[in-house]
Structure 1
Amino acid sequence: KSSILNRLMATEHIFSSASEPGASRGTPHALSGSVELTWLIKETCSVGLWKSVMQPYYKNATNEIVLLANLHGNAIEYFEQVEWLQQFTSCFLVFIMPNCEQEEWNQFTKIVCPEKLIYAMVDSKNGETDDLIIETQNLMKDEELQKICLMIKEALEYDSVKVNFENVTMGKTLKLAEGIDCVESQEVIDFVKKETCLGTKQMMQLQKRLINHNDSKEDGFELWNKNSQLQELIKRFGKVLHLELEIRKKAMAHLERDLYHISSEESSQARKEVMSLKDQLWRISRMTTKNSAHLQHIKGEIIKKLEKVD
């Protein structure tokens, strides 16, 4: 399911999936039952999804932004998460796997109103062809992706849910996350704010392995001694690593959250330029007569801009 949804996103690994790097080592233990969220906006959608579905929707709709929640794992094993999501969800997109039994489907429809369901079968056992069947081997084809786009388009026709957060119930095993801010992680964040994300990335020469051993006798130890900024950064991060496990988990989450926001803010202009270039690339690639040199130039510009984004 996540691999299918990723095909409609601007980046191929926006959701954790079986096709992401490192997936061969097994599924993360904490993944099943978790919910990943993403806004369906120009920066997150593929060009195809944005052009055919989301852009027309936003032109005709209110100023509300669509949020896609991706529940990992078999939904019938996580009824509490499904019930919690129902408080916010206008409808459910359901991907029925080949090994799904009728009894499992009956259990699911007992807790979710069938009128709120939009579903498709994945990799039909009998090999029949139908708009409701998604063949994963054909996900590179526009026709197959269009089926998923149409599911999302249909979902947008449902009325949005007005939420009163005072009435939201968390369930027995679900709870809001506690505060994650830590003094030690804040010191790292302050450093990156001052030096900028790009500046911090450039000073981490040991990690980037920028040494050309053939042309220079300078080794990693010499680089370390000369780089007082890198020493200060590692010193601050070392304090985070020395925290007790439970506090360290919070500190790492604090780093991930705040550094993401800093990076996003710093690279916003570069992201806009990348989206514009990708749009140009998409339009040119669909032309009957293509200018190969121009295509390569645009691809090169995208790579340059992505250095500021990554």
Structure 2
Amino acid sequence: MTKPPLKVLLAAPRGFCAGVVRAIDIVERALQLYGAPVYVRHEIVHNKFVVDDLKAKGAIFVEELDQIPDGDRPVVFSAHGVPKSVPAAATARHMFQLDATCPLVTKVHMEAQRHHAEGFEIILIGHKGHPEVIGTMGQLPPGAVVLIETAEDVAKLQVKDPQKLAYVTQTTLSVDDTRDVIAALQARFPAIKGPYKEDICYATTNRQEAVKAIAPKVDLLLVVGAPNSSNSRRLVEVGEREGTPRSMLVQRASELDWPTLQGLSTIGITAGASAPELLVNEIIDAFRAHYDVTVETVTLREENVSFKLPRELREAPATP
């Protein structure tokens, strides 16, 4: 039986960003150098496939340091960053710490600390409860950072001194939504200080722009990513806003509901910054079982960013 034709527009860039690559490499390099187990506080990145793969190699994931037994085993802090209290607690227990915080998240931490040192009250634009937000707020004393999520929140803000305000943002937000929140902040507090360079990371911006390039041309947009991945969820929202009402998040090909995926002519596929490319290929292969698939890559721009591993892992000799 002849399969119906299906064009797949593959957004580029997509998938792993430099911060995610670095975080995974830190865990794998630590396993190579020091053997198993290597402990990781929180998911190293928000992707079950990645976490399960590292577990199979000898990583043990915990939510808090008190789940780690005393000893000299490495403990890795996730790419999202941690409050200052976490490395302080690890130091008190003489733990061997490896910080996999994305350097672009660390940049936000440093901005917040610098503004605080200069006497500014800090406004953080981000999603309540997200690990990155918890980590950023935890860089400063309680009450020093006020969290807002929407432009509507700006009207409710009670600040100590409108002349001494600064804002920072979570790195994985919607570029468009954040622009609206910043505009509302600047309208209400004209003296507010912002970052020297936008906090939303290059990978988040690039992936959202790539979705905008394909969304008006497709019947369905699939975003490969995890439900707890902020940047993946934002890609779904961008797809819906830019002309693809059928935009959905999917973790694996096994989640695809084929009775609802009939009669398609063109679909778009992208992947969040913590989703490996093999999951994208798995989904394309699944569509080949139902359609005569042709794949066209739509490249918005090339990415060539990379981040160095921590010095401890670069300088340590590999075990024979």
TM-score range, shorter chain: under 0.3
Q: Per chain length, whose mean CA-contact separation is higher, i.e. which structure has more relative contact order (CA < 8 Å, sep 6+)? A: 2
Whose helix proportion is higher, 1 or 2?
Answer: 1
Higher Cα radius of gyration = 1
